[in-house]
């Protein structure tokens, strides 16, 4: 497996490969990333690990710009990675680019 350097633009598939409002896990190097296509066509990507108990966010329920952890229902904002009150914490977010139907992640 090749290493992915900081600032790398990595193609993860076609936009049509990502179901709307359903998470998809993508592994890049040692990073497990949850990728979501929202109803407005925006693609969001966050670390695939809830800060509470490590639940796989890619298996969570999507509502608007948020995903709910499948283990304990923590609500995580997909645009900034912040856990919503009354809970606290955050997950890493990844920049996404859609170009000619292909989806890319920027790995920093």
Q: How many CB atoms lie within 10 A of CB 105?
A: 22
Cα–Cα distance for residue pair 64/41, rounded to 1 Å: 12
**What's residue 26's pLDDT?**
96
For residue 9, give both structure tokens: 């633009």
Round the average pLDDT of the chain to a whole number and report it: 92
The pLDDT value recorded for residue 5 is: 52
Report pLDDT digits (tens) over 21-62.
899 999 998 999 999 999 888 999 999 999 999 999 999 999
pLDDT in tens, 72-99: 999 999 999 999 999 999 999 999 999 9
CA distances from 45 to 38, 49, 86, 103 (A): 11, 12, 23, 11
Q: Inform me whether the pLDDT recorded for 101 exceeds 90.
A: yes
Domains recognised in the chain with CATH numbers = 8-107 (2.102.10.10)
């Amino acid at each position: 497996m090749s290493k992915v350097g900081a600032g790398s633009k990595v193609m993860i598939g076609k936009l049509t490969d990502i179901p709307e409002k359903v998470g998809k896990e993508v592994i890049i190097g040692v990073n497990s990333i949850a990728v979501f296509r929202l109803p407005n066509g925006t693609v969001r990507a966050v670390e695939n690990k809830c800060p509470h108990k490590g639940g796989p966010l890619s298996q969570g329920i999507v509502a608007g710009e948020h995903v709910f952890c499948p283990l304990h229902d923590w609500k995580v904002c997909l645009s900034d990675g912040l856990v919503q009150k009354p809970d606290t914490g955050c997950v890493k977010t990844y920049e996404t680019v859609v170009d000619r139907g292909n989806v890319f992640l920027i790995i920093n």
